[in-house]
Amino acid sequence: MQESKRNSLNVVATAVCAALYAVGSFTTAYIPSPWGFGQFRPAVVIPSFFAVVFGAMPAGIGAALGTLIADSVKHGYIYPGSLIAAVPGNFLGFYLFGRIASNRFSWTRFLLASNLTLTLANFVVAMLYVLVYKMLYLNQFVELPLGAIAFLIIGLTIWWFVTMLPFVLLVTPPLIRAAANAFPSLIPGEVREHSLREEMPEKTFSLAMLVPGLIMISIGLVTSYTSLGNNLESFFGGTTKFLVETMFYLSGSILTILGIVFRIRVL
């Protein structure tokens, strides 16, 4: 009986996660990366929350279905790019998030899951989208040299990572604590105990944003003042180069400032 109730809860959680993620993703679906594709997606807080509270499978399946629904509604048909790249990447990322964060939950494990899975999953999505969907399926970018393709994949990975990380770190923990207060019977014991009693490791939270922020600023400087920027302009044009530099400087500055604010609170 208990197993049956748990399975029913997982089915409901998966459906709710998919629906909320689809709506949240579609809301910002028309804000692209500097390359004109790849969406701004703060809605990742939704499957992140479900990964911690309900576990790996509801979060992974919910994220995969949600991204497919959002992409398909945007394009008006079942979008092949989503099936090829976003669906497997989202499933992998949030399944792994749940495996790390919900197993012996602590805020330190939550931080580890956030950084590791956002890096890995976004790289998988970028690689599949560029190499399989754009190049093999649509026969685009085939004239670009290998270095340009690599920069495009890494650039998309960074774009998604730096636009998702602040939302996951700043929004998801309050959602978990609010759910633990409002619906304690639905929240796993370890998650409930740590989220209500354990203080945030603010020093670790600070480093989790400060280090990526400084790295982004450094990459921006390299793009602006080395031959990398010239190559980027020759491959993708001056407008894209400007937008990429802006992405590095702006996202790096935001992450650095947030990291410093958390650091000051610790001192």
Range of the domain at 56: 2-200
* Dihedral pair phi/psi, residue 39, rounded to 5°: -90, 150
Q: What does the DSSP 8-state code read for residue 39?
A: B
- Is residue 225 situated within a structural domain? no
- Is residue 124 situated within a structural domain? yes
Residue 203 has pLDDT above 80, yes or no: no
- Is residue 236 situated within a structural domain? no
> Looking at this protein, which amino acid is placed at residue 41?
R
Sequence-distant (6+) residues with CB within 8 A of 255 are 162, 165, 166, 209, 210, 212, 213, 216
In the predicted model, what is the mean pLDDT of residues 224-244? Answer: 83
pLDDT above 70 coverage of the chain, percent: 95
Q: What does the DSSP 8-state code read for residue 185?
A: G
- Specify burial of residue 255 (Cβ count, 10 A radius: 0-12, 13-18, 19+): buried
Q: Tell me how many domains the chain contains.
A: 1
Q: What is the CATH number of the domain that holds 184?
A: 1.10.1760.20
**Three-state secondary-structure class, residue 32:** strand
- pLDDT tens digits, residue range 86-104? 999 999 999 999 999 877 8
- pLDDT tens digits, residue range 106-162? 888 899 899 999 999 999 999 999 999 999 999 998 888 888 899 899 989 998 998
Residue 1 has pLDDT above 60, yes or no: no
* Dihedral pair phi/psi, residue 36, rounded to 5°: 90, -5
- Is residue 35 situated within a structural domain? yes
In the predicted model, what is the mean pLDDT of residues 177-199? Answer: 77
Give the pLDDT confidence score for residue 3 in this predicted structure. 64
